Amino acid sequence: MNGQTQDEQAALVAKLARLIEERGWSQEELVRRTGLHRHTVRAIVYGQVKRKLRKDTIARCARALQLTLRDLRDRPLDSLLPRRPANAADASASWLYDQATQPELLHWIERNPERAKKLTRDEIDELLSLQGTGGPLTRIGVEHYVELLERKRVLIEQVHAIAGTEYLQLLEQFVALLSDKIQPYPDRGREP
């Protein structure tokens, strides 16, 4: 098989179970990510593997965890657990960090923990939806996209402040004018 002793096997299964738990993956999610049989996944998650895991099974788990087979086997568990920025006491920033898979986004969060804390849940969802190789975060850049989100947030706050003043009518006129500029022409199909 793969030359592991029973103790090494048990330690590897325990390490896998902990890494899966840390990511918050359900058994179904692990099945989807690895393509392994549900019974195998259940045995790994509950640490009840009776036979030695095949090398292919371990490799699939490593890939799903975005680790090399060697790192999964040789590195200590603490060094494999998801890192959290030191200043990310805010639950949303921690959640963003835990859900981020794109290295550029992870590095941005590590460099900008205070800005990451200020992101709203909707902004975080938007950032996470743009991850992926060749995706918008890769093309545009995380910093640029976060700046756009921050500018939009400030603008919305300003609009809310203005809406509570005597300038509401002026704001309505301005927004209507801009909206007309960006909306498709409603009468496009008819002759003038």
pLDDT of residue 87: 46
Rounded Cα distance, 39 and 174, in Å: 61
pLDDT of residue 53: 85
Between the two ends of the chain, the Cα-to-Cα distance in Å is 79
Mean pLDDT, each 10-residue run in order, the chain (192 residues) = 70 88 82 90 85 89 88 85 54 79 84 87 87 76 91 92 91 91 66 49
Helix (H, G, I), strand (E, B) or coil at 112: coil
Q: Residue 69's closest CA among 10, 1, 16?
A: 16
Helix (H, G, I), strand (E, B) or coil at 166: coil
Q: What tokens appear for 162 in the block?
A: 């203005």
pLDDT of residue 174: 92
Give the type of residue at 90. Answer: D
pLDDT of residue 3: 59
The CATH superfamily label for domain 6-80 reads: lambda repressor-like DNA-binding domains (1.10.260.40)
Domain ranges of the chain: 6-80, 91-182
